[in-house]
Amino acid sequence: MTTICILLILSTVTAGCWNLKEPNQLAIVIGGGLDMNADGRLEVSSQIAVPAGLGGPDTGPSKKRSFVVVSASGKDFMDAGQNLQTQLSRTLFYAHRQTILIGQRMAEQGMDKYLDMVVRNPKSEMRSVIFVVKDGTAKEILATEPVFDPLISTALGSVQSALGMKPYYYREFLCESRPKGGTVLLPAVSYHSTTKRFIYSGAAILNKENSHKLTGFLKPDESYYANWIKGRQRSLTVSTSGSQSSGSISLRAQALKSRIRVAKDSNGMRVHIHLSGKGSLVENNSMRDPSQEKQLRKIEEILSREVERAVNKLVFKAQKQYKADIFGIGRHVHNKYPGEWKQLQNNWNETFSRIPVTVEVQLRYEDPGQTNSSI
184 — pLDDT class (breaks 50, 70, 90): very high
Does pLDDT of 243 surpass 70? no
Q: What is the model's pLDDT at position 183?
A: 95
Does pLDDT of 338 surpass 90? yes
116 — pLDDT class (breaks 50, 70, 90): low
Edge to edge, what strands does the sheet with 357-367 contain?
A: 236-239, 249-265, 268-284, 357-367
Q: What is the model's pLDDT at position 19?
A: 46
- pTM confidence score: 0.86
Asked whether the beta carbons of 132 and 28 are under 8 A apart, the reply is no
H or E stretch at 264: strand 249-265
Q: What is the model's pLDDT at position 368?
A: 57
- For 329-335, what is the mean pLDDT? 95
Q: What is the model's pLDDT at position 175?
A: 87
Does pLDDT of 248 surpass 90? no
Of 24-28, 168-172, 328-332, the poorest mean pLDDT is in 24-28
291 — pLDDT class (breaks 50, 70, 90): confident
Which three-class secondary structure state does DSSP give residue 375?
coil
- For 115-136, what is the mean pLDDT? 77
316 — pLDDT class (breaks 50, 70, 90): very high
Q: What is the model's pLDDT at position 166?
A: 93
Q: What is the model's pLDDT at position 203?
A: 97
Give CA angle at 250 (244, 251), nearest 5°. 160
* Four-point Cα dihedral 10, 11, 14, 15, nearest 10: -160
369 — pLDDT class (breaks 50, 70, 90): low
Q: Give the bridge partners for 237, in sequence order.
A: 252
**Which amino acid is present at 63?**
K
Over residues 199-231, the pLDDT tens digits come to 999 999 999 999 999 999 999 999 999 999 999
Residue 241 or residue 109, greater confidence = 109
Does pLDDT of 124 surpass 60? yes
H or E stretch at 108: helix 104-109
Does pLDDT of 365 surpass 60? yes
Interhelix angle for 112-120 vs 170-177, to 10°?
120
Q: What one-character-per-residue DSSP string does 266-325 give?
A: TTEEEEEEEEEEEEEEEEE-SS--TTSHHHHHHHHHHHHHHHHHHHHHHHHIIIIII---
Distances (CA, A) of 193 to 32, 100, 113, 127, 141: 21, 21, 31, 29, 11
Interhelix angle for 220-230 vs 293-316, to 10°?
100
Asked whether the beta carbons of 114 and 33 are under 8 A apart, the reply is no
For β-strands 26-36 and 236-239, DSSP reports them as unpaired
CA–CA dist 339, 1 (Å, integer): 72
Over residues 3-59, the pLDDT tens digits come to 655 554 455 445 444 445 666 678 788 888 999 988 888 999 988 888 765 554 455
Distances (CA, A) of 301 to 36, 61, 204, 306: 48, 57, 31, 8
Q: What is the model's pLDDT at position 75?
A: 85
Q: What is the model's pLDDT at position 8?
A: 47
- Percent above pLDDT 90 for the chain: 47
